[in-house]
Amino acid sequence: MAMPQGPQVFPRNEYLRRLAAVKGEMERRELSALMVVVPANITYLTGYTAKSGYVPQGLIVALNDEEPTFITRRMDAPAAIHQMFIDRSLVIGYPEGLIANPDKDGWDALIDHLLEAGFGKANIGLEEQSLSSQTVGKFRARMPAAKIVDFGNTICWIRGIKSDLEIALMREAAAIADAGMLRAKEVIRPGVSEADAAAEIIAQLVRGTGGRHGTDAAGFTLCASPRTSTAHISWAEDHFRDGSQINIELAGVRHGYTSALMRTFSIGKPSDLLQRLHEGEAAGLEAALAVVRPGATCGEVATAFNETLGKFGFKKESRCGYAIGIDWTEPTASFKVGDPTILKPNMTFHLMLGNWIDEDLGYAISETLRVTDSGADTFSTLPREIFQI
Amino acid sequence: MAMPQGPQVFPRNEYLRRLAAVKGEMERRELSALMVVVPANITYLTGYTAKSGYVPQGLIVALNDEEPTFITRRMDAPAAIHQMFIDRSLVIGYPEGLIANPDKDGWDALIDHLLEAGFGKANIGLEEQSLSSQTVGKFRARMPAAKIVDFGNTICWIRGIKSDLEIALMREAAAIADAGMLRAKEVIRPGVSEADAAAEIIAQLVRGTGGRHGTDAAGFTLCASPRTSTAHISWAEDHFRDGSQINIELAGVRHGYTSALMRTFSIGKPSDLLQRLHEGEAAGLEAALAVVRPGATCGEVATAFNETLGKFGFKKESRCGYAIGIDWTEPTASFKVGDPTILKPNMTFHLMLGNWIDEDLGYAISETLRVTDSGADTFSTLPREIFQI
């Protein structure tokens, strides 16, 4: 029995639309082939979410072919046949002997394919920022008559504006994030270990809510007293106490689509300082949301937040957010002073107001949102408050 | 109050020993400074496990300084002060304005530091395979009088032989992996969704066992019928049925140190074909373990497995395992035919016998082990059987 194609998350025409946008950029740059290597971009163009990107693999988009070709190691080909919308004949597994092989690797298999497909003298796009200099060098050396062009972040920018189908998945992911945060509210208690709490919260994110499972476990951070000024610690070998503050960043995931959420918890009454910081941040959040609308720039959103927070006597040094979608952060637009990106309907952002001010003052609040025709639509239904335990 | 240094996982002299080994390699190559960027290598040399490696950061090892200097974005400096063994003055946060900045990024901050520290005309090692060609180009362009040398996988090779303290952590991680697999045995039942089972198993891996928590959630795959020929699917939106086969790969984690484990489950009696494959694999596993001893090569271990499996009429195309330690796979030695790496005491491997033979036959079994003075010591206490539900 052959591996069956699995249930498809999106209809075929959704993928063809995405591919058409990529091909439009290829035409503009006079490229006849493009090798996509960023895992989130491969997900975007095919539906593939298996975790095989730690070894060489690439999706080859040819300008003149309707469907792309995926070349991956042999053992991952069945997952690609199962998950991708493309015809099974377009999934090619390269020999396992190319793994951990000092002489020849999976990139050679990809280059062989490009040469055999007649692209030896073509203009070819590469996502160079995600490849080592050695790998880019190998493409240039083995394809001397081809013109290798850096395709940069182009597909990430195309991903920036979501379809309604993508927005629907991000809403499902946001409901899961909410459920995770509510579970945190149930399990954070004095004497409970950080790991035991994390276990319950992460389990909820996997279990999902409302009949929709989490389809993956995303990054998770739980930074509790005395570590509230840290941003990216998973959790520590410690337990909560009376008076502990806990900053949590988590996300729900649906078929790669990620909705992130941050909230701060306090066991007992928050300190006056923390309460004042919260009030400034919450007011800043409202001010930022009030600016979000088509035509505004990302920089203006950050400025609105910063000015409001400043009135409360605080400052946030880091950016106020970033584009979000498949696999969390999209490396494109930021809510950052001076970012010229113009907001358009169905762009999605993590308005990320985590603020680690000095070595003993940090606070976390955020919203994942989409730009609507006239403003901002936040996905979470949770109150914007310090959750007091 | 300043961020306190947290409880240290290893004593200071353990880190100094590791640094001495790295400096020995630097001396051999006549390097006066080295920039370490692979997150697992930074963990190895400092104890840092926070998840900040998605933006530029680097640990600068100077031949003449006892402790290295860590340069990371401002918001991650407190976590480094908390976790690293080095003096807090050696953790330097670069301005948040360098994040998502098209003109100047964190690598510029690292280069600035190298220049200010007097390395402008020095021989400097870079882990080039983990840097984009653009970043390597920036180092060469901004440090034209320095000699930039690729340090390759050198630190990964040094990590290959564990200290007894590291082995102790990997044993703790293995006990957690066992607990996760036993939890799988409890929760896999007909009608249960894959996500609900995954939630319970992952929660166990985080909760840990025997008073030792998991300190992180590692990669997790659950590939169930009809997806048993896939290797790297997290889990699917599906549920178990009578007759389902389930292949699981999971790991326990203790302070970065990872012990992996694979087992196959069957709801009801396994098919004769699966049973025969299991018998071949289990016999091959014993044959492989019998070869493991100091002085044998990695290639010989693979050959022993392959020859035994072949007697049962099966073949495994992919390698039979790889070095394992911090953050799972070490990109160095493999149990692969022809791999010349000579085994030494306290090398650790994931003897990974997952075998995806064709589109409807896959099977998973593995052991994480250390090389002893005379043989192999497997960390798991679970039987090498198909777990029948």
Range of the domain at A122: 12-159
* pLDDT, tens only, A99-148: 999 899 999 999 999 999 999 999 999 999 999 989 999 999 999 999 99
pLDDT of residue A1: 58
Kindly tell me if the per-residue pLDDT of B1 is higher than 70: no
User: Is the residue at A220 inside a domain?
Assistant: yes
Kindly tell me if the per-residue pLDDT of B265 is higher than 70: yes
Contact A322, A333 (CB under 8 A): yes
* pLDDT, tens only, A166-193: 999 999 999 999 999 999 999 999 999 9
* pLDDT, tens only, B201-245: 999 999 999 999 999 999 999 999 999 999 999 999 999 999 999
User: Is the residue at B6 inside a domain?
Assistant: no
Name the residue among A129, A207, A356 with its Cβ closest to that of B78: A356
A92 and A172 inside one domain: no
Average pLDDT, chain B: 97
Q: Name the residue of chain A whose CA is nearest to B322's CA.
A: A100
Q: Assign 3-class secondary structure to chain B.
A: CCCCCCCCCCCHHHHHHHHHHHHHHHHHCCCCEEEECCHHHHHHHHCCCCCCCCCCCEEEEECCCCCCEEEEEHHHHHHHHHHCCCCHHHEEEECHHHCCCCCCCHHHHHHHHHHHCCCCCCEEEECHHHCEHHHHHHHHHHCCCCEEEECCCHHHHHHCECCHHHHHHHHHHHHHHHHHHHHHHHHCCCCCEHHHHHHHHHHHHHHCECCECCCCCCCCEEEECCCCCCCCCCCCCCECCCCCEEEEEEEEEECCEEEEEEEEEECCCCCHHHHHHHHHHHHHHHHHHHHCCCCCEHHHHHHHHHHHHHHCCCCCCCCCEEEEEECEEEEEEECCCCCCCECCCCEEEEEECCEEEECCEEECCEEEEEECCCCEEECCCCCCCCEEC
Q: Name the residue of chain A whose CA is nearest to B77's CA.
A: A230
Q: Which residues of chain A does B331 touch, with a Cβ-Cβ cutoff of 8 Å?
A: 100
B261 and B315 inside one domain: yes
B205 and B143 inside one domain: no
User: Is the residue at B320 inside a domain?
Assistant: yes
B106 and B205 inside one domain: no
Count of other CB atoms within 10 angstroms of residue B17: 12
User: Is the residue at B140 inside a domain?
Assistant: yes
A327 touches chain B (CB under 8 A): no
A146 and A168 inside one domain: no
- Please name the helix (run of DSSP H) or strand (run of DSSP E) that holds residue A378, with its range, or none: strand A376-378
pLDDT of residue A358: 83
A155 and A183 inside one domain: no
- Please name the helix (run of DSSP H) or strand (run of DSSP E) that holds residue A116, with its range, or none: helix A106-116
A148 and A18 inside one domain: yes
User: Is the residue at A2 inside a domain?
Assistant: no
A126 and A248 inside one domain: no
Q: In which residue are the tokens 């894959």 written?
A: B194
Q: How confident is the model at residue B363 (pLDDT cuts 50, 70, 90)?
A: very high
Q: What is the mean pLDDT of residues B121-129?
A: 97
* pLDDT, tens only, B168-214: 999 999 999 999 999 999 999 999 999 999 999 999 999 999 999 99
Q: Which residues contact A322 (CB under 8 A, 6 or more apart)?
A: A329, A330, A332, A333, A334, A335, A349, A350, A352, B100
Q: Domain boundary residue among B128, B159, B190?
A: B159
A290/B160 Cα distance (integer angstroms)? 54
Average pLDDT, chain A: 97
pLDDT of residue A98: 96
Q: Domain boundary residue among A131, A159, A187?
A: A159
Interface of A with B in 285-324 (CB under 8 A): 317-319, 322
User: Is the residue at B207 inside a domain?
Assistant: yes
A74 and A137 inside one domain: yes
As beta bridge partners, residue B282 has none
Q: In what order do the strands lie in the sheet with B257-266?
A: B221-224, B245-254, B257-266, B387-388
Question: What percentage of chain A has pLDDT greater than the value 70?
Answer: 100
Q: What is the mean pLDDT of residues B101-126?
A: 97
User: Is the residue at A221 inside a domain?
Assistant: yes
Q: Name the residue of chain B whose CA is nearest to A127's CA.
A: B132
Q: How confident is the model at residue B147 (pLDDT cuts 50, 70, 90)?
A: very high
CATH code: domain of residue A53: 3.40.350.10
Please give the backbone phi and psi of residue B92, each rounded to the nearest 5 degrees, phi first.
-120, 120
Q: How confident is the model at residue A42 (pLDDT cuts 50, 70, 90)?
A: very high
Name the residue among A52, A74, A193 with its Cβ closest to that of B232: A52
Q: Domain boundary residue among B159, B188, B218?
A: B159
A152 and A274 inside one domain: no
B280/A205 Cα distance (integer angstroms)? 38
Kindly tell me if the per-residue pLDDT of A299 is higher than 80: yes
B67 and B187 inside one domain: no
Tally of domains within chain B: 2
Interface of B with A in 216-235 (CB under 8 A): 216-217, 219-221, 226-227, 229-235
B243 touches chain A (CB under 8 A): no
CATH code: domain of residue A291: 3.90.230.10
